[in-house]
């Protein structure tokens, strides 16, 4: 098994490319390349980071964070008297070492979603502190939060539009260039 270490600019971490099946495996954070990883550890990391399934502990923490975060943010919206805003947490993904939680938000109306997301990102430290106070009896250490907009509903809508559209991109390949994500 051949292992290559590559610095990934997309996720700002070192990844190992396993040549046998070309799977990406996150080996370390923020560009610190490990001196030596043997085949056993590479296979172990491959199994952990392929994204096949979360551990039961990750799932439990993700669900608990999702419920508490939703309650806290919705209470903050009500307290501030903001109207015509629907915020829901669609998914919380916790890393294997429980140090980072990726939180996916759906914010309606869509036209102000980025503004609200930037406000939430700007208050991430206060949100983490408030969550630590709420969950102090459940978690010993609160993970760092990374907030993202959940675009799965937009993706589903785009697929429905493509299916219902009279043009067929299979027979008209010029249409495929419009659909590529940048």
CATH class given for the domain over 56-150? alpha beta
Q: With bands split at pLDDT 50, 70 and 90, how would you rate the model's confidence at 180?
A: low
- pTM, 2 dp: 0.62
Rounded mean pLDDT of 25-32? 42
Query: Who contacts 141 (Cβ-Cβ below 8 Å, separation ≥6)?
Result: 98, 99
Ranges of each domain in the chain: 3-49, 56-150
Where do we find the tokens 């056993």? 40
pLDDT tens-digit readout, 144-165 = 999 999 988 888 888 888 777 7
């Amino acid at each position: 098994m051949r292992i290559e270490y590559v610095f990934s600019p997309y996720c700002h971490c070192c990844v190992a490319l396993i040549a046998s099946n070309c799977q990406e495996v996150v080996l370390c954070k923020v560009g610190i390349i490990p001196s030596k990883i043997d085949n056993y550890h590479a296979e172990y990391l491959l199994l952990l980071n392929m994204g096949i399934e979360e551990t039961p502990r990750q799932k439990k923490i993700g669900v608990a964070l999702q419920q508490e975060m939703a309650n806290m943010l919705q209470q903050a919206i009500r307290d501030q008297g903001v109207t015509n805003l629907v915020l829901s947490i669609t998914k919380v993904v916790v890393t294997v070492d429980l140090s980072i939680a990726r939180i996916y938000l759906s914010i309606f109306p869509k036209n102000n979603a980025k503004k609200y997301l930037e406000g939430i990102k700007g208050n991430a430290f206060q949100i983490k502190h408030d969550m630590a106070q709420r969950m102090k009896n459940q978690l010993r250490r609160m993970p760092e939060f990374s907030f993202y907009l959940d675009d799965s509903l937009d993706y589903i809508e785009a697929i429905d539009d493509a299916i219902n559209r009279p043009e067929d991109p299979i027979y008209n390949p010029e249409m495929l260039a419009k659909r590529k994500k940048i």
